[in-house]
Amino acid sequence: MRTKGDPAFLAAIQPQGGVNFKDKYIQKGDGYEGCIHIWDYPSSANELWLEKIMSMRDVIAVQDVATMKKDEAVSAINKSMLEQQVRYSSAKQESEKMDAQNSHRELEGLYQEISQMGEVVKMIEIRLFVHAPTLIELERKVQTVESDLNSFGYKGGIFLNETGWEWQSLFASYEEQQKMPNKREGKGLPALTLAAGLPYHFSELNDKNGSYLGATFTGGNVLFDMFHRDKKRRFYNAVVVGTMGAGKSTLLKKLMMDNACRGNFIRGFDVTGEFETLVHELNGQNISLDGSQGIINPLQIYRLQDGEDTKSEELSFMQHLSKVATFYEFLANDPATEELEEFKKVLRSFYESLGFTERIQTTGVTNLANDAYPIFSDFLSFVQHELYEKPKKRIIRTELSIARANRLEKIELVLDNLVHSYSHLFNGHTTLPEFTNEQVIFFSIRNLTRLAKNVFNAQMFNALTLIWDNLIQIGAPQMKGIYEDKAFNEDDVARFLVIIDEAHRLVNSENMLAVSFLTDFSREARKYFGGLILASQSIRDFVPDHADTEVVTKIRTLFELTQYKFIMQQDSNTLDAMRMIFEGQTSESELAQIPQFQQGDCLLSINGVGNLMFSVEASDEELAMFRGGM
């Protein structure tokens, strides 16, 4: 008797556009489909072993399970044990005997579990269905899945001329499949092993004080706290890379807004002005570094060490001299060692002539009024008096050697250019308003990027030094409170986050001074509850092709100091660079997925913990507030 069907229902669920079964693939109206049948499994498995198979991206995984009758299981075990005995007796190599003996021992143990402990043998079939709009893309996806299976210890393939029956297995039970012409029998394994596979395990991140950032590819929540601290996550630096439109800006702004809502201090650099709206919403300030809103005096001495005693003042003064020397290196474009040492010598003499060495012992040198510090025009005059008997007539002092006179002339040339060409940037007392206690400050560098590279680098270094002073003033008292005040709770600490968008302008193979400074910043910031985020569109922005290996090593060191790596969509030609920079931190299968990421998709690699693939989620209200990042 023929079973009646519902034509309307069948029309709704049938493949729209028809289906045609070929020898290796299924052709449909909307593309092509292939079925990879797993036919061999590893001899041993870990807990949650099915999770790797069931959570493959863009794959429909189908698992059919049936229970093997006890008498059939015992009969199959007996046959297998007899086969292993024959292998052992006929083996000529000692290794073959050992393999047969081990297999016999495993079968013997399984028999004991079945006969005495009530173990049940399950038959399992796993099929992986892959879909693609074109045949070429389908072949590529099939090859990727088979490669991943091999890396996991499984073996799978497409069974020729069985595509029709394989497709019907989507809707048929294991028992019904045994009635099909191909009659594929499953792999027998103990029920306990199958239960330990648990294919419905999902990855998640659940920080104690985390905020919702998105959902993993397996449906788990990502509750992320950048300043979470435990035995494995001990510092707070991050790197974010993502191509145009991948969601990098949205991720940065979510992290920024989350930390602002927690009461943390935020300092950042904005190249295009896209952070202005969010900064305004958070009642922060946007300050331009092109000199239009004020000057940061590089000769002003900031507190670079915790403490207010004489020793701390001395250390701050010494580090200030080194800082100004580094500033000079930026401006002079890699000066000779002799020239740099001459600059340090003259700089120290300059401060001594103004009585700063005496002030270290009395009033200190880090808390003076802004106009109490010298400016570069003062320093230029001092250098000219060191070089010339009569500066106006430019008559060089007779007691100077030719070599020293040449060095002083080079220093004078750099300072003269700074004072007269870039006076609006560097030659003046600090006129920016005091903002140490302001929660959110972003520096606009849109106009600064149009200046010469050495001037840009020098001003960025100048601003980062000022930010470091903010970090010390905010973080040092809190650090002291944790150790000295029993009532002080670490959860009440106000953290300090620095965001550098378009970071490749600073971190690149041609700017090792900046790389070294940011490396030191990353190492030391955690002591004062500070963190650093470096963001750029491509990983190759940091390390271009054919870059010097020493440079790559230094940049890799900087990236090793980042606890978190947020990798959004990257072009396939960046994979080699990512392998080199993130060596040992990402697997080949994870790297292969990165070029296929959609908008918002992200690989989060947490140093010392593991990797997590998730999609960043933002509400309509957040997107309206963020603007510029979609």
- Give the CATH number for residue 358: 1.10.8
Other beta carbons less than 10 A from residue 281's beta carbon = 13
Q: Which are the contacts of 533, defined by CB distance < 8 A and separation ≥ 6? A: 237, 238, 239, 240, 252, 255, 497, 498, 499, 500
Last residue in a domain, options 431, 460, 484: 431
Q: Examine the domain organization and report whether 427 and 444 are in the same domain.
A: no
Q: Examine the domain organization and report whether 461 and 395 are in the same domain.
A: no
Long-range contacts at 593-598 (CB < 8 A, ≥ 24 apart): 593/57, 594/567, 594/569, 594/570, 595/569, 595/570, 595/571, 596/57, 596/58, 596/569, 597/246, 597/568, 597/569, 597/570, 598/569
Burial classification of residue 559, based on how many CB atoms lie within 10 Å of its CB (0-12 exposed, 13-18 middle, 19 or more buried): buried
Q: What is the CA radius of gyration of the chain?
A: 34
**Distance between CA atoms of residues 248 and 253, nearest Å:** 9
Q: Examine the domain organization and report whether 246 and 275 are in the same domain.
A: yes
114 in any annotated domain: no
Say what percent of the chain tops pLDDT 70: 96
Q: Examine the domain organization and report whether 419 and 476 are in the same domain.
A: no
Last residue in a domain, options 383, 403, 431: 431
619 in any annotated domain: yes
498 in any annotated domain: yes
90 in any annotated domain: no
Q: Which of 598, 589, 609, 545 is nearest to 570 (CA)?
A: 598
Q: Examine the domain organization and report whether 148 and 169 are in the same domain.
A: yes
Last residue in a domain, options 408, 431, 454: 431
- Residue 308 is predicted with a pLDDT of 63
- Residue 549 is predicted with a pLDDT of 64
Q: Examine the domain organization and report whether 477 and 612 are in the same domain.
A: yes
* pLDDT tens profile 329-346: 999 988 999 999 999 999
Judge whether residue 62 has pLDDT over 60: yes
pLDDT band at 546 (very low <50, low <70, confident <90, very high): low
326 in any annotated domain: yes
* pLDDT tens profile 349-393: 999 999 999 998 888 888 899 999 999 999 999 999 999 988 888
- Residue 162 is predicted with a pLDDT of 94
Place of tokens 């900046």: 514
Q: Which of 344, 336, 341, 346 is nearest to 319 (CA)?
A: 344
Q: Examine the domain organization and report whether 35 and 142 are in the same domain.
A: yes
pLDDT band at 1 (very low <50, low <70, confident <90, very high): very low
Mean pLDDT value across residues 452-469: 91
pLDDT band at 630 (very low <50, low <70, confident <90, very high): very low
Least-confidence region, from 276-280, 344-348, 521-525, 550-554: 550-554
**101 neighbors 127 (Cβ within 8 angstroms):** no
Q: Examine the domain organization and report whether 415 and 440 are in the same domain.
A: no
Q: Examine the domain organization and report whether 397 and 265 are in the same domain.
A: no
- Give the CATH number for residue 274: 3.40.50.300
Q: Examine the domain organization and report whether 423 and 453 are in the same domain.
A: no
* pLDDT tens profile 101-114: 777 777 777 777 77
- Residue 411 is predicted with a pLDDT of 95
Mean pLDDT computed over every residue of the chain: 88
Mean pLDDT value across residues 553-565: 87
Q: Which residues partner with 189 through β-bridges?
A: 122
Say what percent of the chain tops pLDDT 90: 53
Q: Examine the domain organization and report whether 499 and 540 are in the same domain.
A: yes
Domain boundaries, position 367: 295-431
Q: Examine the domain organization and report whether 366 and 422 are in the same domain.
A: yes
Number of domains in the chain: 3
Mean pLDDT value across residues 317-324: 92
**How would you classify the pairing of strands 440-444 and 265-270?**
parallel
51 in any annotated domain: yes
85 in any annotated domain: no
What backbone phi and psi angles, to 5 degrees, belong to 395? -95, 115
630 in any annotated domain: yes
The pair of three-digit structure tokens given for residue 397, joined into one six-digit string:
């002092």
pLDDT band at 481 (very low <50, low <70, confident <90, very high): confident
